[in-house]
């Protein structure tokens, strides 16, 4: 059974496909920065963000896509394969069955994650947690050595918001690393690109 088969059969929860197309089960990504996303499509903003995050954290970088999603149905296999093709010859991509960052951190111990402002808002939102306690989950992540690099993002209202606009409990501020607007700002989204029908 291939790594991709094992993921879709539920016999595996994580594997990595290298830029050369080879697969590896149970990758060790401790010391890496991971950019999780749907990458539909992968665009220049993703490329610049992961490059900037790696520079700030002084860590190698990798992308991650999950078959499972907290807000959407599972990603069909043919659609995942289509998205994987965007990374061929460019970068390594981790494929997981990890809906939440707590799941991703458990599968990728020692990894840090780079997220945008909108994702950071959800990360801090109690509604996304079974026990209704985002802070408790973030404390568990901190105990695992997890950190989040946060990039600003322009919202539907046209206003750019960054880390300073988040409501972060004081005792959890150390789990976040702001990415200054001067280091990264790219007002583009996959949704907009799909709507325009171009990359």
Residues in contact with 67: Cβ distance below 8 Å, sequence separation at least 6, in sequence order: 7, 8, 74, 75, 80, 95, 96, 97
**ω into residue 15 within 30 of 0, thus cis?**
no
Residues in contact with 148: Cβ distance below 8 Å, sequence separation at least 6, in sequence order: 101, 112, 113, 114, 115, 120, 123, 175, 176, 177
Taking 70 as the threshold, does the pLDDT of residue 40 lie above it? Answer: yes
Residue located via tokens 């945008």: 116
Query: What is the span of the domain harbouring residue 172?
Result: 3-196
Task: For residues 146 and 50, give the distance between their C-alpha atoms in angstroms, rounded to a whole number.
Answer: 17
82 SS3 class: helix
User: CATH number of the domain that 129 lies in?
Assistant: 3.40.50.620
Total domains in the fold of the chain = 1
pLDDT in tens, 127-150: 988 899 999 999 999 999 999 999
pLDDT in tens, 88-130: 999 999 999 999 899 999 999 999 999 999 999 999 999 988 8
pTM over 0.75: yes
């Amino acid at each position: 059974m291939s790594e991709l088969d094992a993921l879709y059969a539920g016999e595996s929860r994580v594997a990595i496909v290298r830029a050369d197309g080879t697969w590896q089960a149970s990758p060790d990504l401790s010391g890496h920065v991971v950019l999780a996303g749907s990458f539909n499509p992968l665009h220049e903003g993703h490329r610049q963000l992961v490059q900037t995050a790696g520079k700030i954290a002084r860590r190698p970088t990798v992308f991650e896509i999950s078959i499972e999603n907290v807000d959407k149905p599972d990603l069909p296999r043919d659609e995942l394969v289509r998205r994987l093709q965007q990374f061929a010859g460019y970068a390594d991509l981790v494929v997981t069955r990890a809906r939440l960052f707590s799941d991703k951190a458990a599968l990728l111990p020692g990894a840090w994650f780079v997220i945008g402002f909108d994702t950071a808002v959800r990360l801090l939102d109690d509604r996304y947690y079974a026990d209704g306690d985002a802070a408790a989950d973030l404390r568990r992540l901190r105990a695992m050595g997890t950190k989040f690099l946060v990039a600003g993002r322009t919202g539907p209202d046209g206003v750019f918001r960054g880390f300073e606009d988040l409501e972060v409990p004081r005792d959890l501020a150390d789990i976040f690393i702001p990415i200054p607007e001067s280091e990264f700002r790219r007002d583009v989204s996959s949704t907009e690109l799909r709507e325009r029908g171009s990359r």
